[in-house]
Amino acid sequence: MTVLITGGAGFIGQHLARRLRTAGHDVLALDSLLGQVHLDPDASVAAFPGEVVVGDVAEAATWENLDQRDDIDTLTAVVHLAAETGTGQSMYEPERHRRVNVGGTKLAVAFAQRHAIPLVALSSRAVYGEGRHGCPVHGTTFGSPCCERAVPEASQESDEHRPVSVYGETKSEGETVIARRADGIPATILRPQNVIGAGQALHNPYTGVLAAFLAMLKEGRPLTVYGDGSQTRDVVHVSDLVETIAWSLDNPPTPGETRILNSGSGIRTTLLELAECAAAGAPVVSPGITHLDVHRAGDIDHACADLTLTRELGAPLPRWSPADAVAEFITRSWTETGAPADAWDDALDELSQRGLTS
């Protein structure tokens, strides 16, 4: 009864592994221990409650080596988390993202198929791009808003894919690979929104906006909000995503079927509200907010998960509100070492130098 978790030494993998151990599963991680994510690879390995095999999911040899293990017959499922996730970076390093997110996914599916075990793979809400809009003139549309009267609506699993970043494109292609190739095994594709929680890679300036806000709060520096802050996100606590993964392992679709499921809080929060929640959760006087008139290529304005299918299937509903998730993230990460706030300025400069901001 062992679950193989690719990318298992990362933030989500560590939370998932602990959850599965309490449910009586053994866990095995396959992880490349990428320097951008694992500042101290030994600590990541030590934290994982099982064996960590170091290897690159995009290399066929990695999977062939797993095939040779004596205990290979004890594997009961593959949870495929390994991915290149930096949206901004994907715009100037498309091949790195495609290699792992499409090539690595192909190999993960082939492995699950060889061993006739279910696959649960993380995609991303990035496949929706700007997502669904409702408009009194044009009806329901997908992608960029049709006109000024369009109102963003929560994305449903059956919505069109309209990725705007290379990262989103590679996640969309990865989903196609799974749907086409997972022949005869149950496959579940999850589309998480913005996942946060303790243990995030805080030294990685491509981790997401809340890690940036945390770094700024620690330095007493105003929180830098790109644009007017009216952008919206759906922040999901890592433990809610982990519950959805665990449920997916316990409730696979029929063999040969590919099920797609959102993972989010279902609550839309503006960036300004997220900044306020982050500041309210910090043990310091709020340094305030500063606006920067910039748009990064690949960024979207609005995102929120529709949880109708989650309800219909009886999958776990989120227990954390975005506000509570942000507050817990700030409190639990406050004493963790992370990159200085100017690392996010540098990441933005890098994009501007490459012509990827406007």
Q: Which of 92, 128, 167, 206 is catalytic?
A: 167
3-state secondary structure of 195: strand
Structure tokens at 339: 């990159």
Structure tokens at 142: 């997908």
Question: Measured from the CB of residue 44, what is the shortest distance to ligand UD1 in angstroms?
Answer: 19
Q: Which is nearer to ligand UD1, 82 or 225 (CB)?
A: 225
Greatest pairwise CA separation for the chain in angstroms: 62
Residues of this chain that interact with ligand UD1 (CB under 6 A) are 85-87, 124-126, 192-195, 206, 208-209, 212, 224-226, 231, 233, 271, 296, 299, 344
CB 269 within 8 A of CB 324: no
- Please state, in angstroms and rounded to a whole number, the distance separating the CA atoms of residues 105 and 178: 7
Please state the φ and ψ torsions of residue 90, each to the nearest 5 degrees.
-60, -20
Q: Which is nearer to ligand UD1, 85 or 105 (CB)?
A: 85
Structure tokens at 325: 């998730």
Q: Which is nearer to ligand UD1, 49 or 229 (CB)?
A: 229
| Residue 217: closest CA among 291, 285, 273, 294 | 285
* Residues paired with residue 53 on neighbouring β-strands, in sequence order: 30
| Half-sphere exposure for 89 (CA within 13 Å, toward CB) | 17
Is position 226 annotated as part of the catalytic site? no
Question: Measured from the CB of residue 193, what is the shortest distance to ligand UD1 in angstroms?
Answer: 5
Q: What is the DSSP string of 231-250?
A: -EE-EEEHHHHHHHHHHHHH
Question: Measured from the CB of residue 281, what is the shortest distance to ligand UD1 in angstroms?
Answer: 17
Q: Which is nearer to ligand UD1, 66 or 274 (CB)?
A: 274
Question: Measured from the CB of residue 357, what is the shortest distance to ligand UD1 in angstroms?
Answer: 10
Catalytically annotated residues: 167
